[in-house]
């Protein structure tokens, strides 16, 4: 079990550019979540997948954000036309309902800096 | 909506001191409650959990009891170590809701 992995770990971009992050969940976990964490705050929910279906999206997920999980395994989070306010840590988590309690396991995160 | 409130400000204490971090919650249903810990440079790790009223979660010397009457889930440890220095987050997941709602977190600094 290698845990949840995220790539890249750090991303610096200029305002207006597009960025894409990848998350690989724990194998056989059918649920995958994206959260955003800004400095001094707790993580905030962005979106959730069960297998390949995106079942829930937060109001925080503006139309510049899109997430996919095409084969029910890894997921990507794309931000178009980045803004300085997008600077944050983007966290991915996975879980399996088969494990009973919906315990979520988190990856190390991708830190985005928009200049 | 569901929310979690943690006490304000960082916590600084000496090694072997008693630690308490307060956490209260608001939820429409019957949530499960969690404490997550974030060590410097690492990702969030589940520390302990409780799924119903009066349950006590425990791990690594930390404990928290699910108190429905006071809607609280305070974290305690009787004797902290320098290695406990981290940020601690209280969180809830309501029944049928797949998201976690987190508090703002508390930075804990343990001085030798």
Give the DSSP per-residue string, B15-76.
Answer: TT--EEE-EEEE-SS--EEEEEEE-TTS-EEEEEEE-STT-EEEETTEEEE-BTTTTB--EE
**Quick check: A82 contacting B, CB < 8 Å?**
no
- pLDDT at res. B8: 83
Each as own residue / partner, the long-range contacts of residues A95-102 (CB below 8 Å, 24 or more positions apart, any chain) are: A95/A29, A95/A31, A95/A33, A96/A26, A96/A28, A96/A29, A96/A30, A96/A31, A97/A30, A97/A31, A101/B32, A101/B49, A101/B51, A102/A31, A102/B32, A102/B93, A102/B98
What percent of chain A lies above the pLDDT cut of 70?
A: 95
Q: Of all helices (H) and strands (E), which one includes residue A29?
A: none
What are the chain A neighbours of B44 within 8 Å (beta carbons)? 43, 91, 93, 106
Interface test with A, best of B4, B31, B100 (most A CBs within 10 A): B100
Q: Is the pLDDT of residue A20 over 70?
A: yes
* pLDDT tens-place string over residues A69-79: 998 899 999 99
- pLDDT at res. A1: 56
**Quick check: B9 contacting A, CB < 8 Å?**
no
Put simply, the answer to whether B43 touches A42 (Cβ < 8 Å) is no
Put simply, the answer to whether A101 touches B89 (Cβ < 8 Å) is no
* pLDDT tens-place string over residues B49-86: 999 999 999 999 999 999 999 999 999 999 999 999 99
pLDDT band at B7 (very low <50, low <70, confident <90, very high): confident
Q: Is the pLDDT of residue B97 over 90?
A: no
**Quick check: A41 contacting B, CB < 8 Å?**
yes
Place of tokens 């305690």: B76
Q: Is the pLDDT of residue A102 over 60?
A: yes
Choose among B32, B43, B49: nearest Cβ to A107.
B43
**Quick check: B102 contacting A, CB < 8 Å?**
yes
What percent of chain A lies above the pLDDT cut of 90?
A: 75
**Quick check: B57 contacting A, CB < 8 Å?**
no
Put simply, the answer to whether B49 touches A103 (Cβ < 8 Å) is yes
Residues B19/B74, Cβ–Cβ less than 8 Å: no
- The more confident residue out of B41 and A84 is A84
- pLDDT at res. B41: 82
- The more confident residue out of A72 and A92 is A92
**Quick check: B87 contacting A, CB < 8 Å?**
no
Q: Is the pLDDT of residue A65 over 90?
A: yes
Q: Is the pLDDT of residue A100 over 80?
A: no
Choose among A56, A103, A107: nearest Cβ to B99.
A56
* Over residues B81-97, mean pLDDT: 89
Place of tokens 């794309």: A78
- pLDDT at res. A2: 76
Choose among A41, A56, A106: nearest Cβ to B43.
A106
pLDDT band at A101 (very low <50, low <70, confident <90, very high): low
């Amino acid at each position: 079990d290698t845990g949840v992995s995220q790539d890249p770990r750090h991303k610096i971009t200029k305002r207006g550019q597009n960025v894409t992050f990848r998350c690989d969940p724990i194998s056989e976990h059918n649920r995958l979540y994206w959260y955003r964490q800004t400095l001094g705050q707790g993580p905030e929910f962005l979106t959730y997948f069960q297998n390949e279906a995106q079942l829930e999206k937060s109001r925080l997920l503006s139309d510049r954000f899109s997430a996919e999980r095409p084969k029910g395994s890894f997921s990507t989070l794309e931000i178009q036309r980045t803004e300085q306010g997008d600077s944050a840590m983007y966290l991915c988590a996975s879980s399996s309902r088969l494990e009973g309690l919906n315990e979520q396991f988190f990856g190390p995160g991708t830190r985005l800096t928009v200049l | 909506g569901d929310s979690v409130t943690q006490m304000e400000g960082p916590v600084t204490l000496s090694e072997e001191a008693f630690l308490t971090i307060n956490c209260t919650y608001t939820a429409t249903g019957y949530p499960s409650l969690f404490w997550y810990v974030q060590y410097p440079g690492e990702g969030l790790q589940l520390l302990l959990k409780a799924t119903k009223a009066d349950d006590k979660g425990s791990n690594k010397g930390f404990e928290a009891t699910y108190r429905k009457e006071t809607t609280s889930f305070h974290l305690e440890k009787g004797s902290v170590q320098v290695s406990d220095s981290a940020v601690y987050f209280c969180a809830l997941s309501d029944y049928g809701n797949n998201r976690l709602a987190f508090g703002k977190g508390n930075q804990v600094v343990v001085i030798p």
